[in-house]
Amino acid sequence: METDWMGRYRPLVAALVLHANVVNRGLSMRSDIGDGIMLNPQEWQVLEFVIEHSDSYFSMIEISRELGIPQSSFSRIVKTIQDYKLISKYQVAGNRKNIVLRPTEYGKSLYSKRVGSSSSIGFNSFFEELDSLSDDCIKTFTRALNHLTLGLPSARDSQEVELIEIE
């Protein structure tokens, strides 16, 4: 059979394909995170990243690369989150081009309430399945998944940036 090249990894590849397709289908679905604020999964991911790295100076460009979100989509996502007053934009003194995002107190509060609920995200059963793995096994799997992701054409394209001189 033509898929024999996957060997013992065929069930894992099938699970990854299914996961990617389900995630892709759900990207446009919005969930109420509280106070009637509706975010889709990518908007939630950006908010979570900004909260998680609130003491760092990641620029908007760096965040879009870290999350694998095209910059044009990322700008729209940031505007949505900012309109809900969940994040604020800042400039680093002496560098007006690099915009740094920070969570607002309101954004942190809504995030904490959402992740504190048992229905926040379906990761609990996922983590339970991984509990029997050692930390080294999880690191190895994470590295392998990152190699796979970075080997995909869309990931390679998003890593390369063409600079055009402004006259």
Domain coordinates of the chain in residue numbers? Answer: 2-110+132-159
Alpha carbon distances (Å) from 11 to 54, 88, 116, 124: 38, 43, 33, 22
pLDDT at 86: 98
| Angle between the N-to-C axes of helices 41-52 and 60-67, in degrees from 0 to 180, rounded to the nearest 10 | 120
pLDDT of residue 14: 93
CA separation for the pair 59, 95 (Å, rounded)? 11
The verdict on pTM exceeding 0.95 is no
Mean pLDDT value across the chain: 86
Specify the pLDDT at position 167: 54
pLDDT above 60: residue 163: no
Q: Is the pLDDT of residue 149 over 90?
A: no
Q: What is the residue whose two structure tokens read 């915009």?
A: 99
> Which two structure tokens, joined as six digits, stand for 71?
């910059």
- Name the residue with higher pLDDT: 95 or 63: 63
Q: Are strands 87-92 and 95-103 parallel, antiparallel or unpaired?
A: antiparallel
Which pLDDT score, from 0 to 100, does residue 145 have? 92
Identify which has the larger pLDDT, 31 or 121.
31
Q: What is the largest CA-CA distance in the chain?
A: 60
Residues contacting 158, CB < 8 A, separation 6+: 65, 68, 70
* pLDDT(78) > 80: yes
**Confidence (pLDDT) at 131:** 94
- Categorize the per-residue pLDDT at 50 as very low, low, confident or very high, splitting at 50, 70 and 90: very high
Which fold is adopted by the domain 2-110+132-159? Arc Repressor Mutant, subunit A (1.10.10)
